[in-house]
Chain A
Amino acid sequence: MSGETSSPVQRGEGQPSQGWRRFVENLRNSVQEQAKIFVQSRMAVAGLAIIVFYVIVALVSPYIVPYGPEERIYTAAGEWAKLQPPSLAHPLGTTESAYDVLSQLLLGARIAMFVGLLGAFMVAIIGTTVGLVAGYYGGWIDEIVMRVVDILYGLPFIPFVIVLVTVLGASVWNIILGIALLYWLSTARVIRSEVLSLRERPYVEAAEAAGASDFRIMGVHILPNVIPLAALYAAIAVGYSIVAQASIAFLGFGDPTVPSWGVMLQRAFVTQSFGTAWWWVFPPGLSITLVVTGAYLVGRGYEEVVNPQLQEK
């Protein structure tokens, strides 16, 4: 699976400022070209629609939720309205603590999209940088980087985040730290392979012969061609990050003050209510599934249209 663009991006050298300009230009051309390819895949567009939908929900939910996430609902008799099945007033019913499920669900989108997009972003940045450096420089730098990657693979993800949270406290940032420390490994490996082959391309050799600095070659010539692949892995990382945060929250290590789908499921599980209160259990899980599916469709759909085009050329 390769994410090379077909047309090699810009050759030739110039002044440092021209180098930056050229980098931005190459980037823009690359993005435009990729966007055109992207929309050819119905799968990718469908996935993107789902993601965009949830981003919008995340952005507007504080303004549209009917109730606060921890706003107690009372029955007419003045008691807690616990575990109420769906009704007109509460389309998704209430929790064991008499909170409105729908409100929690809508607000939960915020943390999901935040962690998802931030996690993906970090995976892309760290993974691409490491892969780029290792692949381009080769030699002992590559060796060291690859050994570090090999060693880090020995750390199982969820237990590691549990340790982080145990030691540093139950905050969303510690989950994000865990993602930043461990999720980039696969991306780095793949990008590195790609860079290894791109490095042999004639226009790179030409730039090297012309005396361009390593930084310029990496940034201006190689990076833009590697971005489609990085974007693909980033898309997949969105899904993984969201599930990671939900899983950690489910285990009881999430921040209880932040409404999230994982915490909702944790409460449902811990109170043993999931046997009866399907309205509490299904919506958060379905939301997670939907968002992860959307992210995956984006990545897979894009990959499907990029590859055959490369092969036909």
Chain B
Amino acid sequence: MVNKRYLARRFLLMVVSLFTVATILFFLFRMVPGGPMSAIMSPRMTEAARQRVIENFGLNEPLWRQYLLYMWQLLHLNLGESFYYGQTVKGLIVDRFYNTMVLMLTAFLISYTIGIYLGAQLGWIRGTPKERAAMIVVLLMRSTPVFWTGMIVLYLFAFELNMFPLGGMRGVGAEYSSVSGKFLSVDFLYHLVLPVFTLTTFYTGLPLLLMRNNLLEVLSEDYIDTARAKGLTNRRILFRHAARNAVLPVVTAFAIAIGFAVGGQVLIETVFSWPGLGREMVKASLRSDYPVAQGAFLLLSTIVISMNFLADLAYTYLDPRVRLGGT
């Protein structure tokens, strides 16, 4: 029987987390310069408009009522209007959301695959000169700030060598009819290369190191001796026995990693002018477009929390001890 209790608990955690984050945001944005009103009212509004907003948002009501109203609106996915663009926040960030996800997920997929594979290999050949050299490379990759790497990559491949575009998601003036056209065109992929490459150098370090460490621990387990005693090939022992067990903590660590990974995403979107959530949030914050900043953060947080939950699901599936419960 699938261990439903565990999943139910994690799901509940997800809901509570979302709720808490929204609450924290509510209180934080009341502290903006100009008072809580400034968080909702654009400085360009007329007096009549202001009055309307005060009524709609209950800004003259007691705090707890405002809070409830805020939550109610959130549940209806009403995130307000942008001061800058004059369109709804929701419309704006949904569009940016896809752009961010394409970049982030592509980079995650590549970096976790590479990281886990290389981590297992490096753990297996521990102590050899090749491994030591590789570890130095990994160390450097983890120590360089990702935005600087992005700048260097842009400098080398775009400015100097002219191999890739200088930024943006598509060529200027490009028009596409379908979703697949939008995201699978050569032009798009061409723009995707450098940001994905940079993000991958940033993301790969964690799964690689974790996998390597876990593998070293797993290799000292008795069932590895059993596998050897059965006369299996090294390849089989490494992947079907050792790596399969060592990968479990990497999945759990995903939860910790993703909060920082999103930070990397924000930086790379800025460097490469990628029109995603992160870049939108930065721009909105710099020009005090509070509704957008709030909405973008909320969505980013939701992404983190949801991916945590997905990692829990994945872990449950991968570890039969959790999936099936004990005897």
CB-defined contacts of A289 to chain B, threshold 8 Å? 140, 143-145, 148
Closest to A244 in B: B263
Interface SS majority for chain A = helix
B79 nearest CB across to chain A (Å)? 15
The reply on B17 being an interface residue by CB < 8 A is yes
- Looking at B27-35, B188-196, B314-322, the stretch in contact with chain A turns out to be B27-35
Which of A159, A168, A169, A281 is the one whose CB lies under 8 Å from B152? Answer: A281
Which of A150, A156, A157, A292 lies at the interface centre, i.e. has the most chain B CB atoms within 10 A of its CB?
Answer: A156
Q: Are B267 and A247 in contact (CB under 8 A)?
A: yes
Which of B159, B259, B288, B293 is the one whose CB lies under 8 Å from A156? Answer: B259
B107 nearest CB across to chain A (Å)? 15
Closest to A239 in B: B143
The reply on B20 being an interface residue by CB < 8 A is yes
Interface SS majority for chain B = helix
A139 nearest CB across to chain B (Å)? 18
Which of B25, B152, B308 is the one whose CB lies under 8 Å from A163? Answer: B25
Q: Are A274 and B154 in contact (CB under 8 A)?
A: yes
Complex alpha-carbon distance, A164 and B297, angstroms: 11
The reply on A147 being an interface residue by CB < 8 A is yes
1-29 of chain A: CB within 8 A of chain B: 1
Which of B17, B29, B32, B267 is the one whose CB lies under 8 Å from A151? Answer: B17
B276-308: CB near A (< 8 Å → 1, else 0) gives: 001001100110101001101100110011001
3 tightest A-B CB contacts, nearest first = A158-B263, A285-B148, A156-B262
* 9 additional contacts (CB under 8 A) given A153-B304, A157-B260: A155-B259, A157-B263, A159-B266, A163-B294, A253-B286, A274-B151, A281-B151, A284-B148, A288-B148
**Using a CB–CB distance below 8 Å, which chain B residues touch chain A?**
13, 16-18, 20-21, 24-25, 28-29, 31-33, 139-140, 142-148, 151-152, 154-155, 158-159, 213, 255-256, 258-260, 262-263, 266-267, 270-271, 278, 281-282, 285-286, 288, 290, 293-294, 296-297, 300-301, 304-305, 308
